Each structure stands twice: as C-alpha cells, then as structure tokens.
Amino acid sequence: MRNLVSEANKPLSPAQSSPLPPAMTGVASLCSARRVAVFGGTHGNELSGVALVGLWLQDGAEIRRRGLEVRPFMANPRAVQQRTRYIDTDLNRAFTLENLSSAQGEDLPYEVKRAQEINQLFGPMGSPDAYDVIFDLHNTTSNMGCTLILESSDDHFNLQMAHYIKGAVAPVSCSVLLNDHPHLHYSTTRSVAKHPVGLEVGPQPQGVLRSNIFESMRLIMKHALDFIELFNEGMQFPPCAVEVFRVSERVDYPHDSNGNITAMVHPSLQDCDWEPLNPGDPMFQTFDGRSVEYKGDCTVCPTFINEAAYYEKKQAFVVTRKETLTVMGIRVSNTMLSKK
C-alpha cells in the first residue's frame, strides 16, 4: 500500500502479545488526505449523486472540512443532461490503461475523452499527484441499502473509514462490498484516486429522486468527511475488524439460443440482497413457472439483484462471500502533521 509505514514488527508489550493475528496489532502511519473529490453523475440517470453534487457546486459549506480541499464534480455532464447512464460507453468501465493512454482525438467515444480529462484533473492514476480520496456517488435499483464499494483489502485507510461510517450510522446498516476479484474487477472512475470509494445507495429507479435515498447518501458522505478530518487532525484509529462481502462470481439470466432472457429473478430472491442463498435455493423463475435452483457448492450472499443497468452486462446478480477482515490501526504520520 502506498505511503504506509508498518510498525507491526515492533516488540509488543505483554498486554499486547495476546493471540491477536499480526494485522490486528499493527498501527500504520499514513500520509494525511488533503485532496478529496466527490463525483456525482458518473451515471447520468442516478439522481441522488447528481442532485447532491449539484447542490454542493452551488454551495459547498456542507462538505467543507478544516485542512481539506473537498471538490464536488459532475463526472459525466452530457449523460446528466440527457438523464441517461452514458452517451457512448459506460464511464465507470472506461478507466483502463489503454483508454487513458490512447491518443486524443475527436473520434474517441465521449466517455473515453471524459476519462482522459478526469485523469488529468484528479490523477494521473497511480501517481503521487493523484487525489487522495475520490467518492463516487451511485444509485442502484437493487434493494442494497447503503453500500460502500472498496477495491482493495489492503487499503487500511478505506477499511478504517468503512468501520467508522458503520459505527456512526448504526443501527442502520452500511454494507461493504469488496471487489478485488482479478476478472470481475472493473476500471472505475474513482480508481484515479489513491483511495477510491464507491457509494451505492438503493433501491431507487433510474431517473428518479427519492428523499430517503438522497438523505441516506448525504449522511454517509457527512460521516466519511468527518472521518478524514479527524484522521488528518491526529486521531488514532485502533485495529478493528470489518465485515465485508467479497465479490466471487457474476450470474447471468437464463436465455435462449437467440440471447433472449427466459426467466426472471425468483420471488424468494428478489429484494433479498445480502441475505444467504444456499445450494438448492431457487434463484430464477421461468415464464412458465418453473424454478431454477442455485447450484453452487456453499452458501453465498447475492447482491445487485436484478439491477436495471446490468441487463446489458448480462448480469442478474453478483455472488459475494461474507468475511471479516482484520484492519490495522492507522494514524497520520507525524511529518505530515507538522506541515499543517
């Protein structure tokens, strides 16, 4: 992990040398996070983020924090204007090295040009100049509630932030979806930042604003920015454990030889995001009423169930496995603190 100085190998006092795994006992010193961006409208028909970023572009008082630059940004303005997910191609899959390094030209898809602009403004991806944190605000039509989407189980800053947010909003739940799968991981808009954070809130239809979803997203962002401010100001966050749902598989709808869907999400699975699905449980219902059972070898937790935007991606739901990650303690490195 970048800028991480591990102190896990320091001698432990007797009180600390309890049977905690090594990762539980370490405290990492990390650079402060001074430059933060909040993206809305990466998908132009996901209106909570569009509305919040629009609001904060007019008046940023709500997202201002001491010692932080917090920049609201409309990621795909043409798609927002047309109230559509994208113009030419999905912006949230466009941040491949190939796209970012391809020669600029008028014939490039709009979102590829936009990805290059965003990489210039907030990156370059993987460089020391990149923004510290990018929050990317999304809505889902699935019944997922509030979900943080993280891309690495090694990013202890993001995992500590998730732990803080979960504690702050309890008893309301905020799930953590971890997508570090080598084949199912995709090239997100937020991946330009050192610490990419997706915030997915649903259920909300495409092109619709619901006040409860809007306020949930707003609340998560408040706690997220509070966390960064506290971290920068020297608060130490002790080692902790975070429950995550790790992406393991993508499941498509049954279809015929012409590619037409032949079954729907089963009523006993519909809206049951994050709940256990056991081998033998029904997952689809054909148009003539037959059930199609899940044939995996263990209990899993589906999510993004029946997401409208994923029909084109041939995906009925994502399979995850629930696990608990041990997270290192973190504190801001003293050198950065003294530069304040």
Contact present, 100 and 115 (Cβ < 8 Å): yes
Closest among 244, 247, 118 to 191, alpha carbons compared: 118
Contact present, 213 and 202 (Cβ < 8 Å): yes
Minimum Å distance from CB 68 to Zn ion?
25
Closest to Zn ion by CB, 46 vs 155, is: 46
Site mask for Zn ion (CB under 5 A), range 223-262, x = bound: ----------------------------------------
Closest among 225, 232, 227 to 32, alpha carbons compared: 232
Is residue 190 near Zn ion by the rule CB under 5 A? Answer: no
Minimum Å distance from CB 7 to Zn ion?
38
Closest to Zn ion by CB, 63 vs 75, is: 75
- Strands 291-293 vs 282-286: parallel, antiparallel or unpaired: antiparallel
Q: Other CB atoms closer than 10 Å to residue 43's CB: what's the count?
A: 27
DSSP string, 276-294: -B-TT-EEEEETTS-EEE-
249 among known catalytic residues: no
Angle between helices 156-169 and 211-232 (to 10 degrees): 130
Minimum Å distance from CB 309 to Zn ion?
7
Closest among 247, 288, 248 to 264, alpha carbons compared: 288
Q: Which of residues 117-156 bind Zn ion (CB under 5 A)?
A: 138
Q: Which of residues 76-115 bind Zn ion (CB under 5 A)?
A: none
Binding segment toward Zn ion, per CB under 5 A, in 37-45, 201-209, 241-249, 297-305: 37-45
Q: Which residue has the tokens 């732990």?
A: 163
Residues 6+ apart with CB under 8 A from 306: 141, 142, 264, 265, 270, 316, 317
Closest to Zn ion by CB, 46 vs 111, is: 46
**Encoded tokens for 256:** 């015929």
Q: H-type helices in 94-182, by residue range?
A: 97-101, 110-122, 156-169
Minimum Å distance from CB 229 to Zn ion?
27
DSSP string, 211-250: HHHHHHHHHHHHHHHHHHHHHHTT--B--EEEEEEEEEEE
Q: Which of residues 273-302 bind Zn ion (CB under 5 A)?
A: none
Closest to Zn ion by CB, 43 vs 266, is: 43
Catalytic residue among 46, 200, 229, 307: 200
Q: Which of residues 38-77 bind Zn ion (CB under 5 A)?
A: 43, 46
Closest to Zn ion by CB, 89 vs 268, is: 89
Minimum Å distance from CB 183 to Zn ion?
20
Closest to Zn ion by CB, 209 vs 241, is: 209
Which residue's CB atom is positioned nearest to Zn ion? 138
Contact present, 219 and 145 (Cβ < 8 Å): no
Binding segment toward Zn ion, per CB under 5 A, in 13-21, 35-43, 234-242, 254-262: 35-43
Minimum Å distance from CB 84 to Zn ion?
12
Closest to Zn ion by CB, 113 vs 138, is: 138
Minimum Å distance from CB 266 to Zn ion?
25
Radius of gyration for the chain, computed over Cα atoms and rounded to the nearest angstrom? 21
Which residues does the annotation mark as catalytic? 200
Q: What residues line the site for Zn ion (CB under 5 A)?
A: 43, 46, 138
